[in-house]
Amino acid sequence: MRLLLVEDDERVASALSAVLGRHGFEVVHTRNGEETLARLLPDGGSGPFDVVLLDLGLPDQDGFEVCGRIRKLTATPVIMVTARADVRSRIHGLNLGADDYVVKPYDTGELLARIHAVSRRSQAEEAVAAEDQQPEGALELGSLTIELPTRRVTVQDAVVTLTRKEFDLLALLAQRPGVVFRREQIISEVWRTSWEGTGRTLEVHVASLRSKLGLPALIQTVRGVGYRLVPPAN
């Protein structure tokens, strides 16, 4: 997951970047509003981000103003991170388009959970939009076709019978080809539970999908992070 960290305090940014990096995030750090907005431009050279962590106390302009300008550029989820704990500031931030609001000092575990939560919501919205754009709710990925409404899967026009969880797992990965899904996120989305004790179940389902579909390279393991789907050739 690519994350844009907007924080002018170098010590805070360094410590938080280290923590996020240990949890599998690719962190890009900016120190002020103008640098942040430049990074988010389509030709900004940084590519798309999954989440923006936005500190409000920036040296060149107020973080609320930056949030409003971000919303004019992109729909990327924004989490405001600030010491401003009053309700009025929270409401103002959310009205400007922030997806969440975290007050300093915060627990790192809670911050990570909130990052994953806003990312899941964003992915779900994108998945619904992608499904709406597909003819008859079908995902066409090379020789693989996934019909979402009927839960029918074919490879080179041959029907492949999957269990409910196998289909849910395949559909989740297929809705964002090439994107790495963290193990914890997959467990939460498909099994509706936490990671503890469910890791082996995920590995078994991935192995089963590879075997049933006859496409061993379809689902790639990203060591230490999770899985991604690579569309097969026609």
| Cβ-based neighbour number of residue 201 at 10 Å | 14
Token readout for 2 is 């690519």
Architecture per CATH, domain 134-229, reads as: Orthogonal Bundle (1.10)
Instruction: Report how far apart the first and last C-alpha atoms of the chain are (Å, whole number).
Output: 29
In the chain, the largest separation of any two C-alpha atoms, in whole Å, equals: 60
* pLDDT tens sequence across 21-36: 999 999 999 999 999 9
| Cβ-based neighbour number of residue 221 at 10 Å | 13
Token readout for 64 is 């609320």
Strand, helix or coil at 106? coil
Three-class SS of 48-101: CCCEEEEECCCCCCCHHHHHHHHHHHCCCCEEEEECCCCHHHHHHHHHCCCCEE
- The three-point CA angle 30-225-36 to 5° equals 10
- The three-point CA angle 175-37-48 to 5° equals 20
Hey, what amino acid is at 162?
A: L
Strands 78-82 and 100-103: parallel
Q: Per-domain residue ranges for the chain?
A: 2-120, 134-229
Looking at every residue in the chain, the average pLDDT score rounds to: 86
- State yes or no: pLDDT of 44 exceeds 70: no
CB 166 within 8 A of CB 208: yes
Which is nearest to 50 in space by CA: 70, 76, 72? 76
- State yes or no: pLDDT of 50 exceeds 70: yes
Could you tell me which CATH number the domain at 2-120 has? 3.40.50.2300
CB 58 within 8 A of CB 13: no
Q: Which band of pLDDT confidence, cut at 50, 70 and 90, is reported for residue 193?
A: low
* pLDDT tens sequence across 163-183: 888 899 999 999 999 999 998
Which is nearest to 95 in space by CA: 75, 71, 73, 76? 71
Of the chain, the percentage scoring pLDDT greater than 70 comes to 87
